[in-house]
Amino acid sequence: MDQLYQHLLNGLLLGATYSLLGIGLTLVFGLMHVVNFAHGEFYTLGAYALFAALAGASVDFFLAIPLAVVLGAAAGALCERVLLRPLRGESIDTVMLVMIGVWIAMQNAELLGWGGVAKSVPTPFSTRPVVLGSVSVSPLRLFVFGVSGFLILGAHLLLARTKLGRAMRATFQDRETAALMGVSIERVHTITFAFGAGLAAAAGALLGPVFLLYPSMGDLASLKAFSVVILGGLGNFVGAALGGLVLGVAEELGAGYISSGYRDAVGFLIIVAVLLLRPSGLFARAERVG
């Protein structure tokens, strides 16, 4: 029974970062209709940015994380401005293929820049686990959970309470009206994409120290992000937040009770199960009549 609680706890702690990943993607995929297969690469970018700041520039750990997030957001803004804006009217497939190109290019750039050997990130936290009754948890994971929760809350507040958030919601609900009301559609698109990329980078910077860094770490992150988005529903913020937790718990339970080798299969299986069993079917290119 204690084992169960431990798994559940681990799952929730991990799941919070999956929520971060998923929220970033649900905004981009759900609202902008961009199939961002490079989402995981912004995650990787955040992780390596953290590593570079710590190892290269000896920046303080607690400063390096926001730095990584900002870098991720900036990269996202650049990507949107240079690649996505010119393709605005194109079919969703063309954009999807372009993002696949970005995925390949970014990952191999990481590989060339950092080499294929996995790196570990030093943290200021003690490795001695904190014991809470029958479960134990490492201080690092608690920190990661805390920051994830904080960022999720912040993202929610930004979307729900600020003028920018209102502009974003308006643009994606009714573009023409939003434009008539003076919203700069172009800027909203750039900011939304940057926001998504920034959240992914945050997830990377947070999970980087927990696991190891290697150039293809983004592949699984992308898949898990899509898994969360599909679970929670496209464009659904709360759905993504909850979906991330579900995925985290499912992974921990799967790794604990079935086999750790198949851990990553959980994300895939969720995607397959949800896509195949959803009753009314899903049309990404909705050509529904009437």
* 92 touches other proteins (CB under 8 A): yes
* 49 touches other proteins (CB under 8 A): no
Nearest to 106 by CA among 216, 225, 226, 202: 216
Rounded least distance, CB 230 to other proteins, Å:
7
Place of tokens 């954009």: 95
Rounded least distance, CB 231 to other proteins, Å:
12
* 240 touches other proteins (CB under 8 A): no
Site for other proteins in 271-290 (CB under 8 A): 271-272, 275-276, 281-285, 287-290
* 56 touches other proteins (CB under 8 A): no
Q: Pick between residue 95 and residue 205 the one whose CB is nearest to other proteins.
A: 95
Nearest to 65 by CA among 149, 156, 127, 148: 148
Among 56, 133, 182, 261, binds other proteins (CB under 8 A): 261
Among 100, 135, 137, 253, binds other proteins (CB under 8 A): 100
* 223 touches other proteins (CB under 8 A): yes
- How far is 44 from 205, CA to CA, in rounded Å? 8
Rounded least distance, CB 75 to other proteins, Å:
15
The gap between the terminal CA atoms of the chain, to the nearest Å, is 54
Helix (H) or strand (E) holding 132: strand 130-132
Q: Pick between residue 18 and residue 29 the one whose CB is nearest to other proteins.
A: 29
Rounded least distance, CB 169 to other proteins, Å:
21
Beta strand 135-137 with 130-132 is antiparallel
Radius of gyration of the chain (CA): 19
- How far is 249 from 253, CA to CA, in rounded Å? 6
- How far is 151 from 84, CA to CA, in rounded Å? 26
Q: Give 94-120 as a DSSP string.
A: HHHHHHHHHHHHHHHHHHHHH-SS-B-
Task: With contacts defined by CB under 8 A, name the span among 9-17, 119-127, 162-170, 258-266 that binds other proteins.
Answer: 258-266
* 258 touches other proteins (CB under 8 A): no
Q: Which residues pair with 187 in a beta bridge?
A: none
* 55 touches other proteins (CB under 8 A): no
Among 32, 71, 194, 230, binds other proteins (CB under 8 A): 230
Rounded least distance, CB 250 to other proteins, Å:
14
Burial of residue 269 (number of CB atoms within 10 Å: 0-12, 13-18, 19+)? middle
Task: Provide the binding-site residues for other proteins, judged by CB under 8 A.
Answer: 29, 35, 83, 86-87, 92-94, 96-98, 100-109, 111-112, 219, 223, 226, 230, 259, 261-262, 264-265, 267-269, 271-272, 275-276, 281-285, 287-290
